[in-house]
């Protein structure tokens, strides 16, 4: 049976060099994926690029993701081309993403790298995609476990 394990954090960009993220080592998902491989499952591990756990699950196919939307896009593709029996959604995904950044005058900051001399900034957040809410639609016959 082919299974997916998501692990580690996502991030949401503020600009091209700054980001919002949750802290997650990714270790729980790596251990789970390793255990599943050892029990004979064909595992695809989607690991957040910012995960601090240096190990990858031996014997699993490992792919990295960045944002919630990046993870969601990869799950869509896997759902279209693979027969997935189970999904273990362990990843610590962002609850919010940046809608816009404004300087102290209320002007929008759209530079690739917002200058640190810009003074105080206001970051307007909006809810990020809730990937777990989409899982049943993407994998209608799979066992889905998330926490």
Whether residue 91 lies inside any domain: the answer is: yes
Whether residue 102 lies inside any domain: the answer is: no
> Three-class SS of residue 31?
helix
Residue 115 is predicted with a pLDDT of 86
> Three-class SS of residue 24?
coil
**Cβ-Cβ contacts under 8 Å for 49 (sequence gap 6 or more):** 8, 11, 64, 65, 66
Whether residue 12 lies inside any domain: the answer is: yes
Closest CA to 95 of 7, 15, 4, 12: 12
Residue 49 is predicted with a pLDDT of 96
Start-end of H helices in 27-67: 27-38
Could you count the other beta carbons within 10 Å of the beta carbon of residue 14?
16
Residue 116 is predicted with a pLDDT of 81
Residue 121 is predicted with a pLDDT of 93
Whether residue 101 lies inside any domain: the answer is: no
Q: What is the mean pLDDT of the chain?
A: 95
Domain span holding position 40:
2-95+129-146
Number of domains in the chain: 1
Whether residue 6 lies inside any domain: the answer is: yes
Whether residue 122 lies inside any domain: the answer is: no
Q: Which CATH number characterizes residue 29's domain?
A: 3.40.50.10300
Q: What is the number of H-type helices and E-type strands within the chain? A: 3, 9
Confidence tier at 110 by pLDDT (50, 70, 90): confident
Q: Would you say the pTM of this structure is higher than 0.75?
A: yes
Distance CA 124, CA 139 (A): 33
What is the separation of C-alpha 84 from the centre of its chain, rounded to a whole number of angstroms?
19
Distance CA 98, CA 71 (A): 17
Whether residue 45 lies inside any domain: the answer is: yes
Distance CA 33, CA 58 (A): 8
**Cβ-Cβ contacts under 8 Å for 55 (sequence gap 6 or more):** 27, 30
Q: Which tens digits make up the pLDDT trace of 28-80?
A: 999 999 999 999 999 999 999 999 999 999 999 999 999 999 999 999 999 99
Residue 83 is predicted with a pLDDT of 96
């Amino acid at each position: 049976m082919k299974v997916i394990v998501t692990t580690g954090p996502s991030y949401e960009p503020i600009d091209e060099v700054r980001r919002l993220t949750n802290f997650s080592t990714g270790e729980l998902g790596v251990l789970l994926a390793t255990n599943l491989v050892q029990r004979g499952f064909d595992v695809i591990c989607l690991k957040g690029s910012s995960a601090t756990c240096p190990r990858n699950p031996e014997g699993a196919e490992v792919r990295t993701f960045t944002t919630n939307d990046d993870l969601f896009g990869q799950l869509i593709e896997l759902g279209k081309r693979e027969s997935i029996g189970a999904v273990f959604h362990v990843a610590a995904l962002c609850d919010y993403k940046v809608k816009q950044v404004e300087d102290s005058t209320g002007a929008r900051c759209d530079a690739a790298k917002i200058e640190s001399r810009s003074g105080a900034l206001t970051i307007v957040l909006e809810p990020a995609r809730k990937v777990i809410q989409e899982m049943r639609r993407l994998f209608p016959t799979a066992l889905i476990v998330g926490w």
